[in-house]
Amino acid sequence: MAILGIDIGGSGIKGALVDVAQGTMIGERLRISTPQPATPEAVAQTVQQLVQQLNWHGPIGCTFPAIVKNGYTLSAANVDQTWIGANADQLFEQATGCPFHMLNDADAAGLAEMKYGAGKEHNGVVMMLTFGTGIGSALFVQGLLVPNTELGHLEIRGKDAEHRASDRVREEKGWDWPKWAEKVNEVLARIEALFSPDLLIMGGGVSKRFDKFGQYLQTKAPLVPATLQNNAGIIGAALAASELFEQGHQIPNAH
C-alpha cells in the first residue's frame, strides 16, 4: 500500500510516496523551501503545492518539528510561534482535501528506523537523535515509542543542547568534524546519564556523512548511523499514517 509521507523541516518541506510494506520510497522525492516566516497558513499553502505536484488524493502522514498531540502542535522551536496550539491536522486537511496524521519529526524518523532500519528487531531502550536545524529525539522501550521527548532542549551549561551541537550550529560556526564532535559528545554523555540506552541511532541530514565524524564520538552504548538517513522522516510519517488508518479509520481511495 502506498501512502504519501511529508517531512516539514526548518529549511525544507519534503515529500514522497512510500511503500509501507517495504519501507521504501516510490518515485521522486520533491522538496520545496520552507516559507519564511513559517506561519501555519504559509506552510499549509506549501504543503498543498507539494501534494498537487505529486498528484496525490489519499491519506497523508506528516512530520513537524514540535510537540504534536492529537493533531495539535504544542511547541515551535524552529518555526513561527503561531504554531503553538494550532490544529495542524485540520489545517492541512482543509488545504489539501486529504486526511492527515501529524507527528513529531524525530518520532517519525525513529519509527522508520525501528521497523526498517538500524533499530529493526532491537529490544531494550533505543534512543534516536536527529541532527539538523535543531536536535530531535525519539525514545523506544521494548519497541514502543515514548512520544515527544524533545531532548534537544536539555540544558547544557546554560544553553539548549541544540544551540550547542546541532548541524546548523556546526555550519554557522564553521567547525571541523573533531570540534563539532566535542559538542555532540557532551550531549550524548548527558543523555546516557539520564536514560542508559542500549542503542543510540544518529539521524538527520548529517547522518549521511557519519564516516567523517563517527570515529570522534564516544558513547557507552553502541552508536550507529541511521540506515534511512534523511528519508527516515518521510518513511516514518507514511508508516504512522498507515497504522492509524488500519486501526479503524477508513482509507479513502488513493491514487
pLDDT tens by residue, 42-59: 999 999 999 999 999 999
For residue range 139-156, what is the model confidence (pLDDT) as tens digits?
999 999 999 999 999 999
What residue type is 55 in one-letter code? N
**Of residues 233, 224, 154, 14, the one with CA closest to residue 166:** 154
Query: Is 88 in the same domain as 184?
Result: no
User: How large a percentage of the chain has pLDDT more than 70?
Assistant: 96
Q: Same structural domain for residues 69 and 123?
A: no
Please give the pLDDT value at position 79: 82
CATH of the domain at 135: 3.30.420.40
Instruction: Provide the number of structural domains found in the chain.
Output: 2
Q: What is the pLDDT of residues 179-227, one digit of tens each?
A: 999 999 999 999 999 999 999 999 998 999 999 999 999 999 999 999 9
pLDDT for residue 209: 96
Is the per-residue pLDDT at 251 higher than 70? no
Task: Give per-residue pLDDT as tens, 167-186.
Answer: 999 999 999 999 999 999 99
- How far are the Cα atoms of 10, 49, 51, 144 from residue 247, in angstroms, in the given order? 31, 29, 24, 16
Residue pointed to by grid coordinates 531494550: 124
pLDDT at position 252: 43
Whether residue 255 lies inside any domain: the answer is: no
Please say whether the beta carbons of 89 and 71 come within 8 A.
yes
Q: Is 252 among the domain residues? A: no
Is the pLDDT at 255 greater than 70? The verdict is: no
* pLDDT at residue 250, rounded to an integer: 47
The amino acid occupying position 184 is V
Residue 61 falls within a domain, yes or no? Answer: yes
State the residue range of the domain holding 174: 118-226
Q: Can you tell me which residue has the cell 486529504?
A: 98
Rounded to the nearest integer, the mean pLDDT of the chain is 94
